[in-house]
Structure 1
Amino acid sequence: MATFDMNDRKKIGIGLTGFGVLFTFLGLIFFFDKGLLAMGNILFLSGVTLTIGPKSTLSFFLKRRNYKGSISFLAGFFLVLFGWAVVGMIVQAYGFIVLFSGFLPTVAVFLYRVPVLGYFLQQPFFLSIFDQFRERRVPV
């Protein structure tokens, strides 16, 4: 059985990633607040880098099949940093979906096992949505 080595660097990285998601969510709630969105982006990227390592992060973003997602994600990141919050978040959301759509089945399995949330996600409405994503996914 494989064990997941959880050292302090990975713990800090997961915390930064979580705070990045939180700040981005708050930035969206507060009508695309540029400061919160920029801080969320910086925390998210630094958290991912600390969690999986700088070399793995660069190889993930520079893979040939991830070019489209990486370019749009980073373009949206810089648009948010330079003050174009709405346009930047739209471009960044597209890049995020393209980059991380391969992880959606893993996330779905995890969410199915969360006690209360899993019950609601296993209802026919949500299962039909997840099935549509599964059908669109192209094997690599």
Structure 2
Amino acid sequence: MNIRKVLIPIDGTERSMKSIELVKEMYSPEKVKVEIIHIKELVFIDGISISDEIKISEEYGKKLLEKAKESIPGFDVSLYFGFGYAGDEIVKRAEEQDIDIIVMTKSTKKGFSRIIGSVTNYVLKHTDSIVMIVPE
């Protein structure tokens, strides 16, 4: 049996959680290994980032990932939290983990790169994985 590796980036919005719902609808638990990823972009001021902001962001991100994992019971799920530019980190993680499919939601904004989202657009251009874009 060929098990697919699926990467689901989430950003904390209800919209991003729709990717998890799609994976649950499309695959049975024994057919996929799922990794849910949350990347926190840090803002540096004069080359300095505030350590409390990092700690709070990491705590929030890990809670968000645990909540997402609870929404996909029965599946083999791993979690990944990181800091950086979301597009870069998603592409890098997909390559490192030999991901078959990245499942992302589209943006609510107008215009092509805004329709699918700038992060999704970046991932589409830079990954070798299949990218599935979940509509609203």
Normalising by the smaller structure, the TM-score range is 0.3 to 0.5
Q: Say which one has the larger Rg.
A: 1
What is the TM-score normalised by the length of structure 2? 0.37
Determine which structure has the larger helix proportion and give its number. Answer: 1
Determine which structure has the larger strand proportion and give its number. Answer: 2
Higher relative contact order (CA 8 A, sep 6+): 2
What is the TM-score normalised by the length of structure 1? 0.36
